[in-house]
Amino acid sequence: GGEIIPKIVGIVAELRPADSQPVKFITHCPECGTELVQAAGEANMYCPDELACPPQIVGKIEHFFARKAMDINAGEATAQLLYQ
Q: Predicted confidence band at 2 (pLDDT cuts at 50, 70, 90)?
A: low
Q: What pLDDT sits at residue 75?
A: 86
Helix (H, G, I), strand (E, B) or coil at 54: helix
pLDDT at 5: 82
Residue partners of 81: CB distance under 8 A and separation at least 6: none
Domain boundary assignment for the chain = 18-83
Tens of pLDDT, residue by residue over 13-62, are: 999 999 999 999 999 999 999 999 999 999 999 999 999 999 999 999 99
